[in-house]
């Protein structure tokens, strides 16, 4: 998302605690990316999972404040973090939840549709690979 768009999304009613949680989540994502680059996949997955939980909390708080656009941003980010953590089920659930909304912007809807399709394809490939692994046992 470009910086200008994020500035155009209302933050009305959000407090310093919300901003602190956003910063903590961002740091977790950056750390998880670094850990992944270092080949420390389990630690990276744990970091992405913690970031996903924070993103879900942030999205709920936005919805409670009536900040629907900001809710979309944090909810989709939560889905992405869950996918990065390896939890395709949770990521797909969040995407499907967003896609069920009638107020989702067209551009974001298309982006989420492509993303969730990619997740389903990757999950199917993983399932096939795991099935092949168990055949040899």
Locate the domains of the chain by residue range. 15-135
Structure-token match 């980010």, residue found: 77
* 21 membership: H or E segment, kind and range: helix 16-37
CA gap 44, 62 in Å, rounded: 27
- What is the distance between the alpha carbons of residues 134 and 31, in angstroms, rounded to a whole number? 34
Q: What is the pLDDT along the chain (137 residues), one digit of tens a residue?
A: 444 444 578 888 788 999 999 999 999 999 999 999 999 999 999 999 999 999 999 999 999 999 999 999 999 999 999 999 999 999 999 999 999 999 999 999 999 999 999 999 999 999 998 898 776 55
Topology of domain 15-135, CATH: 1.25.40
């Amino acid at each position: 998302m470009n910086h200008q768009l994020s500035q155009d999304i209302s933050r009305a009613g959000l407090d310093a605690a919300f901003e602190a949680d956003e910063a903590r989540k961002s740091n977790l994502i950056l750390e998880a990316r670094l850990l992944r680059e270092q080949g420390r996949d389990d630690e990276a997955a744990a970091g992405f999972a913690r970031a996903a939980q924070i993103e879900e909390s942030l999205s709920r708080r936005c919805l409670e404040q009536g900040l629907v656009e900001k809710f979309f941003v944090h909810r989709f980010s939560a889905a992405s973090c869950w996918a990065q953590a390896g939890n395709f089920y949770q990521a797909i659930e969040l995407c499907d939840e967003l896609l069920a909304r009638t107020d989702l912007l067209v551009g974001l809807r298309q982006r989420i549709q492509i993303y969730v399709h990619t997740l389903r394809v990757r999950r199917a490939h993983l399932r096939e690979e795991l099935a092949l692994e168990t055949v040899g046992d």
